Amino acid sequence: MNSKIEGLISLLCVALIPATFALRGNSWQKRFDRAFLQVDGVTPQGRIRSFQRALRDPKLRTDVSKAIDIVREKGFGKGHPEFIEILWPEGTQARRDLEGINALTKQLQERRSELQESASETNGLIDVIQSTQESVRFGEEGSRAVVSSLLKRVESDPNRAQRLVENLLRNAPVEIESPSYKVLGKYSEDDSKNDEAGDTDTGKKSFLTVPPLELRQYDAFRSVSVPLKPSGTLSSSNKIYTLKNMGSALTEIFSYLELGNNVGSTMMSMTTPFFISDTVADGTQNMFLKLPEKHEVDPPKPVTSSSISFDDIPETVMATLSFSGICTDEEIERQKAKLLERVEKAGNIGWKIRNQGNIDSKSDDLENEGFEEDSTEASKPEFFVLQYNAPGTLPWRRMNEIAVVMEKATLTKDQDENVTESEINIDQSDSLSSNEGGEEGSSGDDDTENENTPSDSKIEE
């Protein structure tokens, strides 16, 4: 019986174990990653070689036995965080996949409820598909011109075309233009793991990784935008993140860019991520993408029947938090709450959440004029949802972010000194991490295939 259990666990390891930067280049986890999960830089022969060497690694049996003993001793309910940490350490692709699947268990139920609700009012999923198809529009030259253009792109650069297709397997897509930004600060929250699991009331530990809070300064860019219209029914009038809404909006933008549905039938490339303006003062939500740099100054005019518009997005500082899976209204509300909590826990970082309408900056003037400050929609933070992946991407590999607009905070002299000291500590920590990673990467590995596992690209400037 024990041998059967060990055999099952070994098969699971073979199927899921990837690399992690904290592991040696010749570890069995690293080799399993190259054999099964690494997308780039590995030949078929290299995959076979890595798999064979991983199976011969004596630490494989040791780690599997240790993980099984933990479950025997503590039970799966209490022991699974340690079990997972041994076999799928934090930072590995398999760990990210497990966390994505965990998020989907709740998100898919919410999506199912959405479809069941719409089915009682219209035709459910059929109505979603029809509304998306109706948003597909080709340019004047028709679908043949689009197919011809696509074939020319493939012929001119087949390697890039292959990498674009492989984006369906990546968390972060490559070979796609995106807005540039620089990271002003990164803040971890190691003490929040129990909160992420939702098990604080039971005292259970969680295997879920707590993503860092990132403070980013985005460069100005010009966007192509469409309204993200609510469903319009009484029961779902406040629901924004539905398949119907997001599918129709994204299809209209895709038609304008990729299918040439514009004056002149100019075909352009999609960019990433696509933004959704979640909380706005006038109550309207939009989906928008950065215009391709080649057409940013003078984009083709949209056709008269289109709801496409262009907006100049100014330089913006935002605090962001990543999450996996799909976007539902319930998931976005959970992520908003987590983001606000993380910003508060970050303390005096020199930035604060900006309320729309600059209510805070106007409060003194209002008091002087004898007016009381009114708490309205305009005083709410401005949130954005960022989605990076194309439709068809493995759902547990989808990468999303929730973001809130920030502004400079007025600090006292003591606070300013604390912030400066904190920034120095962050820089020193990043430098130490970089040096440690370099030392580990230089440790000898007898594999002959490419040992450099590419990191997830983060569209930094």
Which one is predicted more confidently, 225 or 425? 225
Could you tell me the pLDDT band of residue 283, with boundaries at 50, 70 and 90?
low
* Mean pLDDT, all residues of the chain: 77
pLDDT, tens digit (0-9, with 9 covering 90-100), for 95-133 = 888 899 999 999 999 999 888 876 655 555 666 666 666
Could you tell me the pLDDT band of residue 443, with boundaries at 50, 70 and 90?
very low
- Judge residue 410's burial from the number of C-beta atoms within 10 Å of its C-beta, 0-12 exposed, 13-18 middle, 19 or more buried: exposed
User: What is the set of domains in the chain, with CATH numbers?
Assistant: 2-103 (no CATH), 121-408 (3.20.80.10)
Which one is predicted more confidently, 416 or 227? 227
pLDDT, tens digit (0-9, with 9 covering 90-100), for 127-168 = 666 666 667 777 767 777 778 878 888 888 888 888 899 999
Mean pLDDT to the nearest integer, 416-420? 54
Q: Does residue 9 register a pLDDT over 80?
A: no
Q: Does residue 244 register a pLDDT over 60?
A: yes
Q: How far is CA 278 from the centre of its chain?
A: 16
* Predicted local distance difference test score (pLDDT) of residue 176: 95
* Predicted local distance difference test score (pLDDT) of residue 351: 96
Predicted structure pTM score: 0.75
**CA 421 – CA 441 distance, rounded (Å):** 30
State the first-to-last Cα distance of the chain, in angstroms, to the nearest integer. Answer: 55
Mean pLDDT to the nearest integer, 204-212? 81
**8 A C-beta contact, residue 440 and residue 21:** yes
Which range (169-178, 229-238, 409-418) has the least confidence? Answer: 229-238
Q: Does residue 309 register a pLDDT over 90?
A: yes
**CA 326 – CA 307 distance, rounded (Å):** 25
Could you tell me the pLDDT band of residue 190, with boundaries at 50, 70 and 90?
low
